[in-house]
Amino acid sequence: MRANHPIRSVAEEAENLAERSVRFPWFALQVRTRHELGVADYLCGQGYEWLLPLYKCRKRWSDRIKEVETPLFPGYLFCRFNPQDRLPILKTPGVIQIVGFNHVPSPVDESEIQAIQTLMATGVPNQPWPYLGIGDKVRIESGSLRGVEGILVDFKGSHRLILSITLLQRSVAVEIDAACVAAAYPTQAFRGEKAYEHARSVSIAV
């Protein structure tokens, strides 16, 4: 009689999931508003790796103000899968479409996903922000977000690092000490020391 090996089975499933995660890129899924969590739970049950960034915000109810978690990118979440086998994704309840161009799914930049994952892991206060397509890129040099790149701006006197998801044209604002950041690509962005110093002075608006 052949013995069952449930532990090995679980390990094999985990290995298969890991291989899938490494092999395939991230894609953005547009889903029905307020169905983000339901779609994420369904994808998890199907064995897909997913990412649904959340942030805490205060909402007023009839008799009180309550702090709740809500999606950073309302109507969207991210998932790793084989774009050649996307029918199961499209059939997922609540999924409207896979974000792309001319009906072809477009992968999300891996570094942008990693930046959002790092932000979620640290628990640093953050909030949705209008997408920024231009601006000086900086890199955080110290602290829990060390290595993360974004655009540094000044917002009502407190400095914010803007992390952007290019494909979705969406951004996230993170509170950060200006002393913790440095220009990400000084040699490419500026010509000469004088231009570089000027750019540093305007990257943080005063």
139-188 tens-digit pLDDT: 887 788 888 888 877 655 566 778 888 888 888 988 777 667 677 765 34
Give, as one character, the DSSP assignment of residue 24: S
Nearest residue to 84 via CA among 166, 24, 139, 36: 24
- Per the structure, how many domains does the chain have? 2
28 burial via Cβ count (<10 Å: 0-12, 13-18, 19+): buried
Q: Which positions ≥6 away from 138 have C-beta within 8 Å?
A: 149, 150, 151, 152, 161, 181, 182, 183, 184, 203
Tell me the one-letter amino acid at 82. N
Give 15-61 pLDDT, tens digit per residue.
665 555 457 999 999 999 999 999 999 999 999 999 999 998 877 77
Domain end: 69, 88, 108, which one?
Answer: 108
Are the beta carbons of 175 and 55 closer than 8 angstroms?
Answer: no
Same domain, 11 and 76: yes
Which pTM value belongs to this model? 0.66
pLDDT band at 14 (very low <50, low <70, confident <90, very high): low
- Looking at every residue in the chain, the average pLDDT score rounds to 78
Residue whose tokens read 């996903």: 113
What three-state secondary structure class fits 200? helix
Q: Identify the domain containing residue 114 by its residue range.
A: 109-206
Same domain for 102 and 3? yes
Which of 90, 108, 126 finishes a domain? 108
